[in-house]
Structure 1
């Protein structure tokens, strides 16, 4: 059997994520961040999905995604209603999930060529190394 190592055709690939960190390409990130297939924005100043404000999403909106994935840490949480409404009024979908699920979903959508952006909240209680 021949094995072929496929390289993604987008710049940033998530190799793993949990509530304590993430691995983007070969870099370990230990603070909240935003990623799109062609952009990585480190040090996103968000620490909790439950207290997320509409203004916190502006860096994501600037990427002009059709879908925003919100990695909430080790456990799924839902942002306030005004945050959801801000996405809907812009015609942008928002999906909240664990960081691990958001990493997997991001890679699939980016691999399909979708305009996806993801915000990962790091620093929540979690166990295990994402690598």
Structure 2
């Protein structure tokens, strides 16, 4: 699905998504990633929800977002509390949704100027 262009070209915006990819500012990505409104798009070392470890969430906590949107893949899957313990300890909120809903929600929050981080699992 292609998304409507935004008037904030300097911010990282999801411009399109599909089953196995995401486009950010018209650049295509086919592996899991971390995305914040500003800065580089970062590779997130997990190919599936089942591969997630607390260290993956510590990596997120270290970036100090106010809110994390977890795109759990094609279907919504909720992480166990022990996985997201680094976020809980840092008092960082987390919302989980499927990948496509996560992309849309990230764009809305980013456009509002929120300190949001999207952790997006792109399944092969």
Compute the displacement of 1:50 (Å): 3.7
Instruction: Tell me the residue number matched to 2:78.
Output: 78
Look up the SS of the partner of 2:86 in the other structure.
helix
1:103 is paired with a residue whose SS is: helix
In structure 2, C-alpha distance between the alignment counterparts of 1:44 and 1:18, rounded to whole Å:
18
Q: Aligned pair in 2 of structure 1 residues 18, 96: CA closer, same or farther (>3 Å)? A: farther
Question: Which stretch shows the higher mean deviation, 109-118 or 55-64?
Answer: 55-64
1:93 alignment counterpart: 93
Q: Give how far 1:9 is off.
A: 6.3
User: Hey, what does 2:45 align to over in structure 1?
Assistant: 45
**TM-score scaled to structure 2, two decimals?**
0.85
Normalized against structure 1, the TM-score is what? 0.81
**Pairing of 1:52-63 with structure 2 (within 5 A):** 52-63=52-63
Query: Aligned Cα RMSD in Å?
Result: 1.9
**For residues 34 and 88 of structure 1, what CA distance do their matches in structure 2 show?**
18
Q: Say whether residues 1:109 and 2:98 are aligned partners.
A: no
Larger radius of gyration: 1
Does structure 2 conserve the Cα–Cα contact (< 8 Å) formed by 1:10 and 1:110? no
Residue 68 of structure 2 is matched in structure 1 by 68
Q: How many residues align?
A: 120
> Which aligned pairs between 1:27-42 and structure 2 lie closer than 5 A?
27-42=27-42
5+ residue gaps, structure 1: 125-131
Change (3 A) 1:15 1:6: closer
Deviation of 1:25 after TM superposition, in Å, equals 0.7
Distance 1:115 1:68 in 2: 9
